[in-house]
Amino acid sequence: MNRTRHLIRTVTYLATQHLLQLGHRHIAFVGLDPAAAHGFTCAVDRHQGFTRALTEAGLPTNPALVKTTGFAAEAGAAALIELLTDVEGNARGLPTAVVAVSDEVAMGVLHAARRAGISVPHELSVIGVDDHDLSYLFDLTTIGQPAREQGRVAAAMLLEQIRRRDRTHPQLISTRPELIHRNSTAPPRKQFPFSRREPPERT
């Protein structure tokens, strides 16, 4: 398996596992990427990590809880509005948690939830991926990837290979993503307290 794509899948696998361990069973994924048709596989891989965690927990993937967003914050906001609109009048169809394909998308979900009067994490849990520089300002639970450290180590290894004129394959170093638990995730409520609220208008 391509190790880079495996790592991409791992982050959403860990994010979904975190929500499952909290007790969530109605989990949405936002989102898929319209650019996937052109060969950009990041969102596809992250969706596979999400579905793998659900499958291992014995849960089906509900297509109604999977939305296409790309990686923009405004698309995350639109996706939550769409989820609320799709299940209008059907409280059981509401997600209790959202796995976002990136922190930017998660920030959009948080913004839309606030506008809709939905309390995070008491009524809806939200988790992102990447530990964006601004994620702490949103108190966003996320899966952090030590990108700077990965880049530093890779550059150092490359320079060392050049210095030694070493043409052999470089040593493989793996860095594992980690959960950064802030205050946007919590165990689900047994009821659906925001089921009758009107979704905010799209802007």
pLDDT, tens digit, 9 for 90 and up, residues 175-199: 578 999 999 999 998 765 555 455 5
Instruction: Supply the pTM of this predicted model.
Output: 0.81
Q: How confident is the model at residue 134 (pLDDT cuts 50, 70, 90)?
A: very high
In which band, very low, low, confident or very high, does the pLDDT at 163 lie, cut at 50, 70 and 90?
confident
Q: Is the model more confident about 173 or about 157?
A: 157
How many percent of the chain have pLDDT more than 70?
73
CATH fold for domain 3-145: Rossmann fold (3.40.50)
> In the chain, what are the domain boundaries?
3-145
Q: Which residues face 102 on adjacent strands?
A: none
CA distance 128 to 50: 12
Predicted pLDDT at 197: 53
Q: What is the pLDDT of residue 13?
A: 95
pLDDT the model gives residue 6: 58
Distance CA 154, CA 89 (A): 52
- Predicted confidence (pLDDT) per residue in 74-84, tens digit: 999 999 999 98
Regarding predicted confidence, which is higher, 198 or 29? Answer: 29
